[in-house]
Chain A
Amino acid sequence: MKIHYYPGCTLKQKTTALDISTREAMKLLDVELVEPQGWSCCGAEYPLTEEKIAGLAAPIRILRQVRDEGGDVLVTTCSFCFAVLKRADKALRDDPLKRKRINAFLKDDIQIDPLTKERTTGFEDYAGEVKVLHLLEFLRDRIGYPRIRDRIQRDLKGLAIAPYYGCRVLRPQKEMEVDHPDAPRLFEEFLEAVGCSAVDYPFKQECCGSYLSVSLPAAATEASYRVLRSARMNGARAVAVTCPLCFYNMDHRQDAIKEAYLDFPGIPVVFFTQILAWALGVDKTVLGLGEHRVPADGVFSEIPATEVRT
């Protein structure tokens, strides 16, 4: 199976672990990932006011490229990219005026093929031909858990993992339509399909503090602490995330969290794709574990560690 895959800026630079583990896992599931040619940043934030529609140009240009390459599905792993692409696509399908304006703006866009130097311009209008899927949805709906179970090479023996959705995969509910915003099952079902046990805890869909870690670090420290502590108290061996910013706030900034909250002993934070790749038999050395500040090696041990309780 061949599908279009949009890694986004962060996966190519600071958080390659998410990209690498995705590629390794998909190879073992016989899925070939194709990046749309000449992709740019998606914009990270979906424009929330009616007049700032210029922010729709970047995601629509990416989606149009996927369509022009013959794709009808675009898969992403980063929650921010997923939300921007999915909402931009929906905006153009639902709103004829936005469709007209953005397409008029992008029509004379010139794209140069990096190999043949051929110039393309005069693009056809994009009207929502591409379906944007989060990799978790793709695994469930297009590959299917039974097929994943057939390919499992390592028995994870019910390794206790806390799924962390964060903000952008589930909300805004009326536009994302992925799962119930307060009682989701998507991530849990994935974890159970690969042999983990999904830890139920009340902070799985709460915010980690997002970009406030730059402007008001204390707020992000507190928000991330609440999530991590709750996961640990409920018996999780690690917290699994889908977003590079959640990873930054909860892994890279965990020292700051420990400093602020002396009762917190720490917990590893991993990407869901690392768990998938590990279960499918990928070697530990290619999971990108060197990018973790909180050592996560113990999570990926041949004999899974037993549950740790505080």
Chain B
Amino acid sequence: MRVKLKAGRDQRKFIKRIEELSGENVFACYQCGRCSAGCPVASEMDLLPNQVIRLVQMGLDEEVLRSKTLFLCASCFTCESRCPKGIDMARVMEAVRHVLDPKGKDAFGPGEIPPELAQELPQQVLVSIFRKFAK
């Protein structure tokens, strides 16, 4: 993955905000990649979990905020249980979604569920997906 670092871009604000929201120290990550290795949805992602955290470390907010990955994370916490540095990556993902919130529309809203499917879905999954992917 190639990224451009430009002088003058204020990266500290984004990093600080992610650390504040997630309560995690993103600089603890040394890019071992175990989070991505264990991720059940990695094959669908444009940025792997370890790449997300690397971009956060560099304060590259635009690159992170436009990634599909944010709305593919199932919060299964496999990454958390495998991280040798004790970082809860699901919290970092949620913090990034939180920063994104006011900027766009719902990543997934009620209108996207066909009525016949809504009939058979367990309540739990509806509450869950709107808490994660809608504002």
| Chain A residues packing against B (C-beta within 8 Å) | 8-10, 13-15, 41, 43-45, 48-52, 55, 78, 80, 166-168, 170-174, 181-182, 205-207, 209-216, 218-219, 222-223, 244-245, 247-248, 252
Contacts and interface: CB of A to CB of B under 8 A. Distances in A.
26 contacts: A14-B120, A14-B121, A14-B123, A43-B127, A43-B131, A44-B131, A48-B94, A48-B95, A49-B98, A55-B131, A167-B77, A167-B78, A171-B81, A172-B80, A172-B88, A174-B80, A206-B40, A206-B76, A206-B78, A209-B74, A210-B76, A212-B72, A213-B125, A216-B44, A219-B74, A222-B43
Given A14-B123, A211-B132, A172 B77 contact: yes
A214 B43 CA distance: 18
Contact of B77 (A45, A171, A211, A244): A171
B16 to A, nearest CB: 13
A215 B95 contact: no
Contacts of B125: 210-211, 213-214, 245, 248
B49 to A, nearest CB: 13
Contacts of B128: 44-45, 80, 210-211, 245
A97 to B, nearest CB: 12
Given A50-B20, A248-B125, A207 B78 contact: yes
Interface of B: 20-23, 40-41, 43-44, 71-72, 74-78, 80-82, 86, 88, 90-91, 94-95, 98, 108, 112-113, 117, 120-129, 131-133
Nearest to B23: A50
Contacts of A50: 20-23
Contact of A223 (B41, B86, B90): B41
Contacts of B88: 48, 172
Nearest to A293: B120
Contact of A210 (B74, B91, B98, B123): B74
B75 A48 contact: yes
B133 A215 contact: yes
A165 to B, nearest CB: 11
A50 B128 CA distance: 18
Nearest to A248: B122
A49 B123 contact: no
Contact of B121 (A8, A48, A214): A214
Contacts of A171: 76-78, 80-81
B129 A15 contact: no
A173 B88 CA distance: 10
Nearest to A80: B124
Contacts of A52: 98
A176 B122 CA distance: 24
A210 B121 contact: no
B132 A45 contact: yes
Contacts of B91: 48-49
Given A172-B88, A215-B108, A10 B77 contact: no
A174 B75 CA distance: 15
A9 B124 contact: yes
A44 B75 contact: no
Given A41-B127, A167-B75, 16 more contacts: A13-B122, A45-B127, A48-B91, A51-B21, A207-B74, A211-B132, A212-B41, A212-B72, A213-B125, A214-B121, A214-B125, A216-B72, A219-B40, A219-B72, A219-B74, A248-B125
Nearest to A173: B81
Nearest to B41: A219
Contact of B113 (A170, A182, A214): A214
Contacts of B132: 45, 211
A125 B117 CA distance: 41
